[in-house]
């Protein structure tokens, strides 16, 4: 088992992470446990967890409907209500068993219930393992804007067991892999060289790959938990990607976060090239690799219209000027201020 120390908690990775979880539960004296899951993790992951951590048989199960379209305040009200009706108190522990929607929403509920109770994350998707469950960002979408309402509130532990990935489709593995590509492009040139040589599906979720991606993210979060500077690098691909994701969700079109981020990384790399942050060769390398893994996104005028609306509502906008986190040659990052509307439109036209 690998243990990565974060600011106030540790991330345990490997099949022995269940042992670490048992040790944690034995040491703490929680008054009650509340386990938040969705219909998929209820069916495919919960039995394995309960078998390996029998103490959690005491937990009250709160099952939510899966999907980004349920990551909103009404679902939080449902969970706050269930906690209240079941007598949860300051000493209760929330256990989030699921992907990014569950870990983001469950963390947000924990951070606000009675002004904050403890929670832990047991991520079951690659996306949540390498990104969402680590770093203390919690939140929900609001008025179509991704993660618009949220808190920075750290878990008491993150328990990553790659066994859960065996329950995922290849599409969902690719979904999480986009965050691995992102972290390589902004934080580790050697990692980029390593991953771009392999695009076979098993490689997408080797334990070493997960460990390294978490190490890279964790190193950034430890330096800048509240996203004053360095942590903004983790938004590479997200300014445009979130806008695409919100637009397609609004139009009831099927899109996964990682697919939108893959598109966002291509558009933002074109912009990085325009600002001479990466070379033409690097741009081609990035685009060819991403295009070899993700399907091309079809953009009609309606999608584009919504995308621009969302880009300008994006939380990273400061004083009317757009700031993007861009690679500064592959494996490094720099914030680029003053990106113009026309530059984004031109980049999308080149896609």
Cβ(104)–Cβ(135) below 8 Å: no
In whole angstroms, how close is the CB of 73 to ligand GLY at the nearest point?
Answer: 20
Cβ closest to ligand GLY, residue 172 vs residue 238? 238
Residue among 66 and 233 whose Cβ is closer to ligand GLY: 233
**DSSP character at residue 150:** E
**In terms of CB distance, is 303 or 335 closer to ligand GLY?**
335
- In angstroms, give the least distance from the CB of 140 to ligand GLY: 14
Nearest-approach distance from CB 113 to ligand GLY, in angstroms: 22
Q: Please pick, from the candidates 68, 104, 131, 328, the single residue that binds ligand GLY as defined by CB under 6 A.
A: 131
What is the DSSP pairing of strand 32-38 with strand 60-64? parallel
Please select the residue that binds ligand GLY; options are 14, 99, 106, 135, rule is CB under 6 A.
135
# residues near ligand GLY by CB under 6 A: 5
Which CB atom, from 88 or from 129, has the smaller least distance to ligand GLY? 129
Residue 135 or 162 with smaller CB distance to ligand GLY: 135
DSSP string covering 75-101: HHHHHHHHHHHTT--TTEEEEEEESHH
Nearest to 42 by CA among 99, 85, 113: 99
How far from 328 is each of 73, 88, 167, 275, CA to CA, in Å? 37, 48, 37, 10
Q: Report how far residue 155's alpha carbon sits from residue 178's, in angstroms, rounded to the nearest whole number.
A: 24
* Residue from 179, 177, 180, 186 nearest 336 by CA: 186
Residue with tokens 């009650």, as numbered in its chain = 32
All residues at 6 or more sequence positions from 115 whose CB lies less than 8 Å from its CB, including other chains: none
User: Which of residues 137 and 172 has its CB atom nearest to ligand GLY in the complex?
Assistant: 137
Nearer to ligand GLY, 154 or 285 (CB): 154
182 binds ligand GLY (CB under 6 A): no
- Which residue stretch of 9-17, 131-139, 198-206, 254-262 sits at the interface with ligand GLY (rule: CB under 6 A)? 131-139
The residues in 225-264 that bind ligand GLY, with binding defined as CB under 6 A, are: 231, 234
CA angle 13, 16, 20 (to 5 degrees): 85
Give the contacts of 28 (CB within 8 A, at least 6 positions apart). Answer: 93, 118, 156
Smallest separation (angstroms) from ligand GLY to the CB of 231: 5
Judged by CB under 6 A, does residue 137 bind ligand GLY? yes
Residue 134 CB, nearest approach to ligand GLY (Å): 7
Residues at the site binding ligand GLY, with contacts judged by CB under 6 A: 131, 135, 137, 231, 234
């Amino acid at each position: 088992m690998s243990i990565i120390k974060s600011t106030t908690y540790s991330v345990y990775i490997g099949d022995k992470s269940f042992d670490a979880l048992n040790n944690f539960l034995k040491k703490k004296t929680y008054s009650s446990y509340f386990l938040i899951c969705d219909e998929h993790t209820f069916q495919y992951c919960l039995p394995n967890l309960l078998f390996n951590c029998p103490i959690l048989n005491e937990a009250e199960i709160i099952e939510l409907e899966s999907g980004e379209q349920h990551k909103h305040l009404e679902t939080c009200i449902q969970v706050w209500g269930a906690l209240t009706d079941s007598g949860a108190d300051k000493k209760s522990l929330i256990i989030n068993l699921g992907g990014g929607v569950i870990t983001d929403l469950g963390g947000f509920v924990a951070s606000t219930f009675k002004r904050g109770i403890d929670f832990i994350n047991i991520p079951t998707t690659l996306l949540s393992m390498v990104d969402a469950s680590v770093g203390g960002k919690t939140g929900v979408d609001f008025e179509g804007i991704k993660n618009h309402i949220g808190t920075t509130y750290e878990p008491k532990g993150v328990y990553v067991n790659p066994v859960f990935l065996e329950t995922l489709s290849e599409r969902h593995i690719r979904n999480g892999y986009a965050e691995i590509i992102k972290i390589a492009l902004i934080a580790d040139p050697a990692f980029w060289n390593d991953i771009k040589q392999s695009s076979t599906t098993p490689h997408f979720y080797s334990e070493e790959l997960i460990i390294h991606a978490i190490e890279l993210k964790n190193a950034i979060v430890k330096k800048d938990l509240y996203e004053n500077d360095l942590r903004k690098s983790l938004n590479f691909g997200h300014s445009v990607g979130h806008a695409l994701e919100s637009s397609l969700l609004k139009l009831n079109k099927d899109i996964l976060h990682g697919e939108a981020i893959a598109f966002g990384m291509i558009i933002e790399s074109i912009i990085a090239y325009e600002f001479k942050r990466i070379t033409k060769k690097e741009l081609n390398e990035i685009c060819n690799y991403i295009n070899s893994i993700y399907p091309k996104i079809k953009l009609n005028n309606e999608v584009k219209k919504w995308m621009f609306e969302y880009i300008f509502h994006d939380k990273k906008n400061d004083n009317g000027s757009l700031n993007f986190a861009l690679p500064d040659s592959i494996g490094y990052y720099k914030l680029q201020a003053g990106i113009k509307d026309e530059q984004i439109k031109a980049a999308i036209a080149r896609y």
